[in-house]
Structure 1
Amino acid sequence: MSEPLTPACAATRAWVEGFVVAHNVCPFARREFVSDSIRFVEVAANEWEPALEAMIEECRRLDLTPEIETTLIVLRPGLEDFDDYLDFLAVAEALLVEQGYEGTYQLASFHPDYCFEGAAEDDPGNFTNRSPWPMLHLLREAGLERALANYPDPEAIPERNIETMHRLGGERLDAELAALRGQ
């Protein structure tokens, strides 16, 4: 949405445009990016309770603002450690259910050190869920269902993305992510 962005949110917006859209990691992101229906918000996550409250506030904002299709919550400072992030994510998912948002909103997870279970840390496939900062992606379930219903073979998206990441290679992907973080 068109409001001033923090440096971390600006880097996240650049990641959406220069990585997610450019590499077609999410075939639905371009439409939302172009229509400016993605909200970017930065939340301190060094204390979990206020960060979780902020996530629920973002759900309420989505409830009241249909022109926002999706929200990216950049979690910083805090949660730099991937295992801590995974613990936080589990609590966040449980809170969505507890607050009655199951079936309304879904969380997608992104972290600079994202590593799929069973994958090597340096596997380029991990970059499908790597981002400049730890973040939660709040998606409207109804919007996701509409997009998937009109997309041929949506089950192939994850495998296609992993193939793309392997083709690009870990070294290039590391450099792209570091550039977005300003390192």
Structure 2
Amino acid sequence: MSTERALTNEEEILFKTKEWVLKSVIGLNLCPFAKPTYQANTIRYIVSGSKTKKDLLIHLESELQFLKETDPLVTETTLLIHPYVLEIFLDQNDFLDDADFLLNRLDLDGIIQIANFHPQFQFAGKNIDDITNFVGRSPFPILHLLREDNISRIVDSHPNIDSIYENNRKTMRKLGYDGWKKLGL
């Protein structure tokens, strides 16, 4: 009998998400700004138990308030992982309208930005099986809460911010489906 205990569902979700951040986002350098935040241990990972859009919106509001009130040296960014709701990418994409409305209501527009990642992520105009979609594919649906002032510093310090998108597409094409599978994500 093994003495290792099985991971709880939440522990497994966190493990797989952190593995995705390390192997994909940082390992493939899809976001050249993620590594310092990761190394500083200022990424907040939260698993939402929400099962409805309404509950997720309430949880999102709580996390937005937390990020607003927390020193960036403690928490720079938050990954709100929501595996039980918005399991269809287009539903999550539509939910971003509600999230933007919430940002406005909380007077956080221009202070915090919300990006999305999803297991079915698909760029507009791309076929579902286009390998470049994997830039935004995560093991679970995720809302990424980012501080706008950090984004501004990054944009100002990067010599060619627009090159990131094209470099990511090249990286994914070079990696291919077999390479992605080898990552074990």
1:90 is matched with 97
Judged with a 3 Å threshold, the aligned counterparts in structure 2 of structure 1 residues 90 and 175 are, in CA distance, closer, same or farther, namely farther
Gaps of 5+ in 2: 1-9
Inter-partner Cα distance in structure 1 for 2:85 and 2:167: 32
Judged with a 3 Å threshold, the aligned counterparts in structure 2 of structure 1 residues 152 and 56 are, in CA distance, closer, same or farther, namely same
RMSD between superposed Cα atoms in Å: 1.4
Give the greater-gyration-radius structure (CA).
2
Alignment length, in residue pairs? 174
Q: 1:10 and 2:40 equivalent?
A: no
Aligned residue type for 2:26: V
Inter-partner Cα distance in structure 2 for 1:21 and 1:63: 25
Q: CA deviation at 1:174?
A: 4.6
Q: 1:99 and 2:106 equivalent?
A: yes
Q: 1:131 and 2:138 equivalent?
A: yes
Q: CA deviation at 1:129?
A: 0.6
Inter-partner Cα distance in structure 2 for 1:55 and 1:48: 10
Aligned residue type for 2:54: E
2:171 is matched with 164
Gaps of 5+ in 1: none
Q: CA deviation at 1:51?
A: 0.9
- Residue among 66, 78, 81 paired with 1:71: 78
Q: CA deviation at 1:63?
A: 1.7
1:42 is matched with 47
- Residue among 121, 134, 156 paired with 2:128: 121
Task: Report sequence identity in percent.
Answer: 35
- Residue among 129, 148, 155 paired with 1:148: 155
Q: Deviations over 1:44-89 (max 9, x none)?
A: 3421112111111111111221120000000121221112222222
Inter-partner Cα distance in structure 2 for 1:7 and 1:97: 34
Partner of 2:144, secondary structure, is strand
Q: CA deviation at 1:6?
A: 2.8
Any conservation in 1 of the 2:78–2:146 contact (CA below 8 Å)? yes
1:62 is matched with 67
Q: 1:19 and 2:20 equivalent?
A: no
Q: Deviations over 1:81-130 (max 9, x none)?
A: 11222222221122212221100000111000101111011111101111
> Which runs of 4 or more aligned residues in structure 1 lie more than 3 Å from their structure 2 counterparts after TM superposition?
none
Partner of 1:108, secondary structure, is strand
